[in-house]
Structure 1
């Protein structure tokens, strides 16, 4: 597998797939063949960082009264992103394609491919029926993120001010480093000592370098954290909780 991001390569690759499709028919079927289920990465987003190789699978289930002969699967994303599988194995009416993404090989200068991706499927039945469908499934292909927090001073007197700082960063596939994610709303949350539920206190935004800074009043012992809800290109992430002892 290789990630393809240039216009020429992506169109060429998709053109090869299109040779099996009847003229003027990007989506279609013949006979009773139907696609019944598409599952990407076990229902989880595909999140890729700056160095570790990411492996994931796409499983497609189909039906036909004669049985399923085989299923071809490929993936398309923003900025002409394209992924073809390393291998595809079938068991009964379900075929599972394995994909591998090495960020330093497949993603250099490719931040724009992060976002919503689609699964394209071609199903062949044993009796010659078929079903071809663009965007048979969807998933998020995302840049890994990190979130930090520091609440100070520790300990602090009741009624005094606590300053909570942190930084939201995400993988950059241009230089394979983490850079601050700017102008993003991040929830400041509090968990009382002995409690079970985090409560949102404020929602500040990251500055031009991804940093966060806000103040709260010390009332009781507990943990402070920053919680980012995520975007199409970046997953949700929580910092660890920073405990503050209130005297």
Structure 2
């Protein structure tokens, strides 16, 4: 996060020396360049000091022409968005699968955001602990997994968007590959949704007023703030049912507040608001509030 991290990793014969990145408030291209160089040099150093065969495949056994390793799969956070509230510290997994005809010595990377390339990077999330683990699926294919620690306090609100995964892979025959955009993951500001209904109980057939508020994490202030102008569904389920039905859709105010009325209330049950989410804010449902009918 904002380039304040070091990493040392060990996996069998593979041992990464510490990758040190100077702490700063926001990343720039110099930080990214240093980090990519550090990952490459550390993996190369680990190969040069790794255990001999049979821990590593003998290069003499490789009959085909040398070629760069291939990244076949990158999965960040198990394929799910990274959702952060105002005080969040989360462990995010980065799993890299690489293949090469000589076998894969290791693969490592980091998450970044900014412009179209690393030349315009604005923030970096890098591994901070000794946790790189590599597991060979075959003589040619290996998956290496790291954990990246992310903190909401190190993020700007406009960084709630799609982040990229930089990946570097090193083959046993010293061929190498790097990709600035080997994978992606969404960063999202955690959402909250409340509901209240009056009167409780309500007379059968009379008007019920339902209110609430949609808010989301403001990473820059460390507080939740109203999410303005969003469409939110008012839903109802009978007390005897487990399924909610949408009654109407209401647009929130400039502060995220919600208010509407219903007519001819006839059944006892639960009322709630439901928000479908946006690209930078996850979907959320309010806990249903029970409204009884007074005859």
Counterpart in 1 of 2:135?
91
- The 2-side partners of 1:198 and 1:129 are apart by 56
Structure 1 pair 141/8, CA: closer, same or farther in 2 (3 Å)?
closer
Secondary structure of the 1:186 match is strand
| 1:93-144 alpha-carbon deviations (Å, 9 max, x no partner) | 111121112333x23xx11111111112111111123332222211111111
Query: Is structure 2 residue 84 aligned with structure 1 residue 48?
Result: yes
Query: Is structure 2 residue 118 aligned with structure 1 residue 62?
Result: no
The answer for unaligned runs of 5 or more in structure 1 is: 21-29
| Cα offset, 1:3, TM superposition | 2.0
Query: Is structure 2 residue 274 aligned with structure 1 residue 227?
Result: yes
- The 1-side partners of 2:127 and 2:150 are apart by 10
**RMSD over aligned Cα atoms:** 2.2
Counterpart in 1 of 2:259?
213
| Cα offset, 1:147, TM superposition | 0.6
| Cα offset, 1:17, TM superposition | 4.9
Counterpart in 1 of 2:240?
194
| Cα offset, 1:175, TM superposition | 1.6
- The 2-side partners of 1:140 and 1:160 are apart by 44
Structure 1 pair 4/163, CA: closer, same or farther in 2 (3 Å)?
farther
The answer for unaligned runs of 5 or more in structure 2 is: 5-23, 41-65, 116-121, 137-141
Counterpart in 1 of 2:30?
12
Structural mapping, 1:86-235, within 5 Å: 86-87=128-129, 88-92=132-136, 93-104=142-153, 106-107=154-155, 110-217=156-263, 218-235=265-282
Secondary structure of the 1:15 match is helix
| 1:204-242 alpha-carbon deviations (Å, 9 max, x no partner) | 111111100011121211111111111122111111011
Counterpart in 2 of 1:27?
none
The answer on whether the counterparts of 2:234 and 2:249 sit within 8 Å (CA) in structure 1 is: yes
- The 2-side partners of 1:144 and 1:99 are apart by 19
Higher relative contact order (CA 8 A, sep 6+): 1
| Cα offset, 1:174, TM superposition | 2.0
| 1:167-186 alpha-carbon deviations (Å, 9 max, x no partner) | 11111122201110101111
Following superposition, which runs of at least 4 residues in structure 1 exceed 6 angstroms of deviation? 5-8
TM-score by length of 2: 0.73
Secondary structure of the 1:9 match is coil
The answer on whether the counterparts of 2:110 and 2:167 sit within 8 Å (CA) in structure 1 is: yes
The answer on whether the counterparts of 2:188 and 2:279 sit within 8 Å (CA) in structure 1 is: yes
- The 2-side partners of 1:137 and 1:194 are apart by 45
